[in-house]
Amino acid sequence: MDSRIFFLVLQLFVFYLTNASSEKCLKNSNQPDCKSSTMTPYRFVANYNDSQLQFAGCTEKKIWLMIRHGTRLPAVKFIKPMTEILPDIQKQIIKNYQNGKSKLSAGFIEKLERWTINLKEAEAMNLAEEGQNELIDLAERMQARLPKLFTDDYEKNLFRFKYTATQRTELSAKSFVMGLFGQHQSKKVVFEQPEKKDPILRFYKKCKKWQKEVHDNPKTQKERDLFIQSNYVQKVVKDVSKQIGLKLDYAHVRLIYMICGFETAFNRAENSPWCDLLSINNLNVLEYAEDLKYYWKDSYGYKLNYEQACPALHDMFTFFDKEDETLVTAYFSHSGTILKILSILGIAQDEKVLTHDTFPINSSRNWRSSLIDAFASNIAFVLYDCDKQGPSILVLHQERPTQIPGCPEEGLCPVSIMKDIFPAAAKDCKFDVVCEN
């Protein structure tokens, strides 16, 4: 076969896989690739329909985005056990198979024998290549949907970009502008100076009450800890231990779960062999343990989690109210920011609180970190000027129009209604009072 034809076929095949994978977690989230919590790659939840967002009698005026960084490497606290403990477990699994102490397949053992790990602590939390691709692709789709706002040519007065003081958000931001303007023009883009405790992009870093009462409080993880002690989790530990012929504890099984998630995110061509040790039932349980962690630390578990997110919404309203040339405000932040903003908006909220003993009745819950907080997750507000209802807002989550409680069920939400629901004015956003700063 001619090499050019081969590469064309390969590109089409990859395009097909990417687009097919983007739909599967929405059509059927009860699949292994849809259970990795905040380690889920964005390609499994992205919206690949990039048709223009048009509403009769309305013209788009501005857009405000908050974007989580793309797929990254694990944190230092996980790299060390991944590089030291997993290779030991790998050797023991292979040895037990050879000695007839496990019933694993020969195919799995062959995959596991080829497995190697090359993570360095110096690169912990850095953006992976997949993360760069996620942000480039996201930018291209947003530009296709809203070409009047995301212009092809960069003009400083039209765009405002800012990231936090981390490598993963900086490179995410630079990948995003690469997707908008191309390699040459993206070098001209001016970014605002990053801050370690940014009052908009990472407001929770400045909330003393939250740091003390939630983040640093062991009670925040009470529900997750109780669930880990439950029969559901202990059965998973026993199942995996029995498979490999080696007694593990929850920390070991969680490490397998995490390397499965990260390596699936890094590699589009082949899933991690470690994923083969976890059944869909195992993954449902392990995902719920992660969901309990984030639900209580960053979401609906405590009112303080989302009350402190008002500076972000206030910033959005202020941007929309300004009569200046800026068309786009794009921020590049973190999981904690995304989850708190989703919660103040009332997105993915369930009738019942997530607790350690509600796992059986929460199988179809809305609050699923795998779907709402994957790598490169994003929230966007698009301002329109409409002939009949005046200034109105479209809310997008994961690039999809999302209905906000209190707003009309279909179409755009008038700015006047949004301002009645959420803290729009400075006097309504009492951040220092809420945070007891």
- Can you state the angle between helices 76-98 and 250-266, rounded to 10 degrees? 100
Over the stretch 76-113, which tens digit does the pLDDT of each residue have?
A: 999 999 999 999 999 999 999 999 988 899 999 999 99
Report whether 207 contacts 431 (CB < 8 A): yes
Residue in 229, 217, 370 with CA at minimum distance from that of residue 301: 217
Contacts of 32 (CB under 8 A, 6+ apart): 271, 275, 278, 280, 283
pLDDT band at 23 (very low <50, low <70, confident <90, very high): low
* Per-residue confidence (pLDDT) for residue 5, from 0 to 100: 47
Domains along the sequence of the chain with CATH: 34-435 (3.40.50.1240)
* Per-residue confidence (pLDDT) for residue 259, from 0 to 100: 98
Over the stretch 151-206, which tens digit does the pLDDT of each residue have?
A: 999 999 999 999 999 999 999 999 999 999 999 999 999 999 999 999 999 999 99
Tokens representing 419? 């301002």
Judged against a pLDDT cut of 80, whether residue 7 lies above it is answered with no
Phi first, then psi, for residue 302 (nearest 5°) are -130, 135
- The greatest distance separating any two alpha carbons of the chain, rounded to the nearest whole angstrom, comes to 76
Contacts of 170 (CB under 8 A, 6+ apart): 163, 191, 194, 332
* Per-residue confidence (pLDDT) for residue 281, from 0 to 100: 96
pTM exceeds cut of 0.75:
yes
pLDDT, mean of residues 60-85? 97
Percent of the residues in the chain that have a pLDDT greater than 70, as a whole number: 95
Place of tokens 């990948």: 175
